[in-house]
Amino acid sequence: MDLLNTLVDKGLRRELPTREEALAVLATSDDDLLDVVAAAGKVRRHWFGRRVKLNYLVNLKSGLCPEDCSYCSQRLGSKADILKYTWLKPDEASQAAAAGLAGGAKRVCLVASGRGPTDRDVDRVSETIKAIKEQNEAVEVCACLGLLSDGQAERLREAGADAYNHNLNTSESTYGDITTTHTYADRVDTVNKAHAAGLSACSGLIAGMGESDEDLVDVVFSLRDLDPDSVPVNFLIPFEGTPLAKEWNLTPQRCLRILAMVRFVCPDVEVRIAGGREVHLRTMQPLALHLANSIFLGDYLTSEGQAGKADLEMVADAGFEVEGAGEVTLPEHRVEAAGGCGSRGSAGGGSVCGSHEGCGSHEGADACGTAAATCGTAGTASAPAAQEARTDLVAVRRRGAGTDLAPNA
């Protein structure tokens, strides 16, 4: 297929595809799906070999968020039966992180619900970062705390944070359909603050909210312009009790096409499969490793993920290897472009603002008031028809951080 040959050539040169080419990837047929995966896989292996980076989420503060992000189970007005608790103490967070690190995770993503951190919250998280790094010197730490005020990114960097996550989630033109309590520009501003402070910027998207192919291409091109080191790709988890509970718009095949499009547009960037992979990719998760070079290990913020042991077996069985602590995630030219900053040679994960379901591990829904049927409907002409709901695959997290039960790692 001439399209795929062109995209491979461009990916190896770090040349941006045209919008028409990106849209064409999303429009390919199921008959061509393996060809699409193989082509994007060439680009992935060129920049990242067969390494898979493991990340681990710690939900520092769960639920009770004042923001109305329509995709989030922690949002204002959410009736999802999730865990709700206030800030973990530094030693509690460090213990939670240790479980993921023992399972092979290289990066710990510290996430807290809320619009954004107060200065006291930054102090809390700084203490937590120091506690984690005292026990695990080589660990990378990514913070995901919402909208940042001036000077907060610098304080997190001084405390030892390597990265900051804040997702764009969807296109600028439809952003107001999923969130009303902050703006798309607010999110862009926070990503820029992280960059300016010397943190590795992590910013991604959520697919499956009723968006069109054009919306998906718009947000990925916007991400390319922001130049994050890490792009988490979330697939909406339609939680009962949220306005998007009936939005089952994804198939495994569509998820793979979305990941392939992201890889072609962002060839040399860490692409992470984040929240929802178990729900929507299901038995086709191993194929996604040919497109993305990073995943979360174990559970997410408010939902359960695949067993950590199963994640490790999947990586090995698919012919990939877990990236070691001494290996640099990003290609050398990206690290050098950041002045050799170690954190730019890692990755990040996350979401943003109150509902940020953590490092790209979104989980949840709502931001159009309560009208789920109208959420994210702008420009849905090319979106696929809704799929059969698989609510059996959505399990609320009841273990790990904030509980007395052992975590899944």
Classify the phi-psi angles of 57: left when phi > 0, otherwise alpha if psi is within -120 to 50, otherwise beta.
beta
Q: Is 255 annotated as a binding residue?
A: no
Domain range list for the chain: 2-393
The token pair that represents 355 in the structure block: 């509902």
Name the average pLDDT for the chain: 86
Alpha-carbon span 110 to 129, nearest angstrom: 9
pTM of the entire structure? 0.87
Q: How many CA atoms lie within 13 A of 232 on its CB side?
A: 38
Q: Is 109 annotated as a binding residue?
A: yes
Q: Is 72 annotated as a binding residue?
A: yes
- The domain over range 2-393 is classified in CATH as 3.20.20.70: yes
Q: What is the pLDDT of residue 63?
A: 75
- Which listed residue (157, 187, 263, 272) is catalytic? 272
φ and ψ of 364, to 5 deg: 150, -165
Tell me, yes or no, if 202 is annotated catalytic: yes
Is the pLDDT at 75 greater than 90, yes or no?
no
State pLDDT tens for residues 142-194.
Answer: 999 999 999 999 999 999 999 999 999 999 999 999 888 989 999 999 999 99
State pLDDT tens for residues 255-270.
Answer: 999 999 999 999 999 9
Alpha-carbon span 85 to 300, nearest angstrom: 15
The token pair that represents 301 in the structure block: 């913020």
Q: What is the pLDDT of residue 356?
A: 39
More confident residue, 304 or 109: 109
Alpha-carbon span 288 to 167, nearest angstrom: 21
- Which listed residue (44, 107, 109, 334) is catalytic? 109
Tell me, yes or no, if 69 is annotated catalytic: yes
